[in-house]
Amino acid sequence: MSDTKLRTAIIGAGKMGQIHAKVYHQLPQSQLVAVVDSDEKSAKQLAKKFKCQYHTDYQQILDKVDAVTISTPTINHKDIAVPFIERGVAVLIEKPLALNVAQAEEIVALAEKNNVVVAVGHSERCNPVVQAMKRLEIEAKFIESHRISPYPFRSTDIGVVMDVMIHDIDIILSLAGSKLKRAEAVGIGVIEEDKEDICNARLVFENGCIANVTASRIALKTERKVRVFSKHAYLSLDYFKKTGTIIKADTNNMELINKIRQQKNVGKFDLLKAGWSDMVHYEKLQIDDKEPLRVEQESFLNAVANKSEKPEVTAVEGLAAMQCADAILESVKQHTWQ
């Protein structure tokens, strides 16, 4: 990568924008030049903190930056992203990529036409647990995920699928490595009837992989867990606690299996003494405690500086997550309660 710093900016001075600004300010390959927000007071305060310019209109920085992060309400994503992409400016858009699939498709097509890097802020893909799992190159056969939490009192304009389940959808798609064949789902709106607060979906992929995913934003506790079954390993991961366990079958030695069967038959059965520990290996997943947004932005800026690299989550992958989420929501609508 070149030693030249990339001129970066944040559009949106809310909570996520503040975190993005902090990371851009810290990264050696970034020069944070501006913060943009329609609320002048918020933009000014954040800009003062990180010693950069502030603006209330993103049009004012179109020709002054190499890369921007868009951290605004989803309804504005496409309108803000388009003029930057048309000028060849790389864009990282907070999840979801756009308000709907049609808008997401427009962004993807425009990025390809202009050969511009567009990344999506599915920061959970950059969670140290997910990064550690990625290094194992697991061929998933069955995936089960749970993401539940108390009501957040934010993102009330969308339901739980687009709000939080989409994180797991993105991870599941990366693990399945196949196109979605069908989705069967049920969702319930508790706070508002037209926006689901609890949802469970069963996803079936063309390669035979199956995923069962549950999301809730009206639970009494916070839990973010996933279990992955493959032919030779089982993973149990906790995104929230940043822990994971791997169970591997080291061998399929029939002699050991017969030995275990014989000992069971004579009534003197000790699983460990019988050799089970020689067949199945338990280990803790080695996890690096890196800040997900830093991993995400480093990956994004590396892709901007070197077009042979890709951001952690591309616009194409962000679109695929939205298409899957759409299939889930359509199934929720079609579900008939008896």
Res 288: pLDDT: 84
What stretches of the chain adopt beta strand conformation (E)?
A: 6-11, 30-36, 53-55, 67-70, 90-94, 118-121, 140-148, 180-188, 198-205, 210-216, 223-230, 233-238, 243-249, 280-284
Place of tokens 């190499």: 66
Res 275: pLDDT: 54
**Is pLDDT at 135 greater than 50 in this prediction?**
yes
The two beta strands, 198-205 and 210-216, are: antiparallel
Q: Which domains does the chain have, with CATH numbers?
A: 6-123+292-312 (3.40.50.720), 126-249+282-290+322-334 (3.30.360.10)
Residue 61: φ, ψ to 5°: -120, 10
What lies within 8 Å, CB to CB, of 141 at 6+ separation is 208, 209, 210, 229, 230, 231
d(CA 192, CA 194): 6
Res 45: pLDDT: 96
**Is pLDDT at 335 greater than 50 in this prediction?**
yes
Greater model confidence, 120 or 133: 120
CA distances from 204 to 168, 196, 212 (A): 15, 22, 9
Res 258: pLDDT: 63
pLDDT average, residue stretch 1-30 = 91
Res 297: pLDDT: 96
d(CA 84, CA 66): 9
d(CA 237, CA 307): 33
Other C-beta atoms closer than 10 Å to the C-beta of 88 total 11
Structure tokens at 33: 């030049």
d(CA 11, CA 83): 13
What lies within 8 Å, CB to CB, of 299 at 6+ separation is 119, 126, 309, 310, 311, 312
Res 6: pLDDT: 97
pLDDT average, residue stretch 56-74 = 96
pLDDT tens by residue, 304-333: 999 889 999 999 999 999 999 999 999 999
d(CA 39, CA 12): 9
Res 124: pLDDT: 92
Res 219: pLDDT: 92
Greater model confidence, 193 or 140: 140
pLDDT tens by residue, 79-98: 999 999 999 999 999 999 99
Res 12: pLDDT: 96
Q: What is the mean pLDDT of the chain?
A: 90
pLDDT average, residue stretch 277-288 = 77
Q: Which residues pair with 228 in a beta bridge?
A: 143, 235
pTM of the full predicted structure?
Answer: 0.87
**Is pLDDT at 2 greater than 70 in this prediction?**
no
Half-sphere exposure of 162 (CA within 13 A, CB side): 25
Q: How sure is the predictor about 155, in pLDDT bands with cuts at 50, 70 and 90? A: low
d(CA 204, CA 223): 24
**Is pLDDT at 271 greater than 70 in this prediction?**
no
d(CA 79, CA 84): 10
Res 1: pLDDT: 41
- Between CA 293 and CA 69, with CA 318 as vertex, the angle to 5 degrees is 45
Q: Could you give the percent of the chain with pLDDT greater than 70?
A: 88
Res 265: pLDDT: 56
